[in-house]
Amino acid sequence: MLLNEMSDVLRVSGLRYVRDDRAILDGIDWSVRAGEHWVVLGPNGCGKTSLINCLTGYEMATAGSIQVGEAQFGFADWREVRKHVGLVTSTLVSYLEPYEPVLDAVVSGREAILNLVGERDAALEVEARGLLERMGCGHLVGSRWGVLSQGERQKILICRAFMAEFEVLILDEPCAGLDPVAREHFLGWLGEMAEREGAPSLVIVTHHVEEILPCFSKVLLLKEGKVLAMGGKSEVLRDEWLGEAYGARVEVGVDEIAGRYGLRILEVLR
């Protein structure tokens, strides 16, 4: 699944996802090209996580088409497709068994499986230990998943995602549960990765504009399961678009030196 710079690493067309007679996603058209870095932004309940779950096969779309690389959902083994996607999402929390060793949880990211069975590959174990140290949680190497705090679990999921040999890295609320220092440490690491030659496409899902790094140039803004705005960062991160999305009168600012955005709520309208 090697891609050139003009290839789509992700593409959804007419994506619809209905649960309990409610349309969580309704007619989503969106594509990510190799080398592009996207933000999926929107309020709670707008469908951000459902979009990611449909892309990775953890939820079954009701209608539309989904393509990851050259593989189209319904015509490919999605277990194999997942090996090319680095994924950080709270969805995985419920799938990992409480007794799963932390090292197994990280190593299993290489093959996109859950709850590793059998002996660990020695080379992968060394790689996993290195990732845990870089993430500041090397001390957790002997722990089990069930005893970890929310912040510790998030760090383990980040390390697990980095074990995949991916063309695209999807991060669904990766800073949830991280304290401010840990958050900035992680965002700095992510920014460095984006600047490397041959870096994967990055997709970060967030509520918070302050987590949008300069390396992210594209934004998909969702509201009530539909695309409200989509395009270049400066085109979408505007007072009027974010105000409509969040139901408030807002003021968007950007630090010209750091290149980071901020959002100030002037008036709540709903």
pLDDT for residue 95: 79
Return the bridge partners of 168, or none: 85, 201
CATH number for the domain formed by residue range(s) 8-233: 3.40.50.300
pLDDT for residue 43: 92
- In this prediction the pTM is 0.84
Of residues 90 and 54, the one with the higher pLDDT is: 54
Of residues 117 and 36, the one with the higher pLDDT is: 36
CB-based contacts of 217, cutoff 8 Å, min separation 6: 36, 37, 232, 233
Write down the mean pLDDT value for the chain.
88
Q: How does pLDDT run across 194-207, given as a tens digit for each residue?
A: 887 778 899 999 98
* pLDDT greater than 50 at residue 3: no
pLDDT for residue 27: 95
Average pLDDT over residues 170-199: 85
In angstroms, the Cα distances linking 193 to 186, 189, 215, 226 are 11, 6, 10, 30
Share of the chain above pLDDT 70, in %: 97
Question: Could you write out the DSSP letters of every residue in 100-164?
Answer: -BHHHHHHTTTTT-SS--SPPPHHHHHHHHHHHHHTT-GGGTT-BGGG--HHHHHHHHHHHHHHS
State phi, psi for 41 to the nearest 5 degrees: -125, 150
Distance CA 244, CA 25 (A): 18
Rounded to 10 degrees, what is the CA torsion of 186, 192, 196, 198? Answer: 30
* pLDDT greater than 80 at residue 165: no
* pLDDT greater than 90 at residue 132: yes
Residue 89 has, within 13 A of its CA and on its CB side, a CA count of: 25
Share of the chain above pLDDT 90, in %: 47
Q: How does pLDDT run across 230-267, given as a tens digit for each residue?
A: 999 999 999 999 999 999 999 999 987 788 999 999 98
Of residues 195 and 83, the one with the higher pLDDT is: 195
Closest CA to 252 of 219, 203, 205: 219
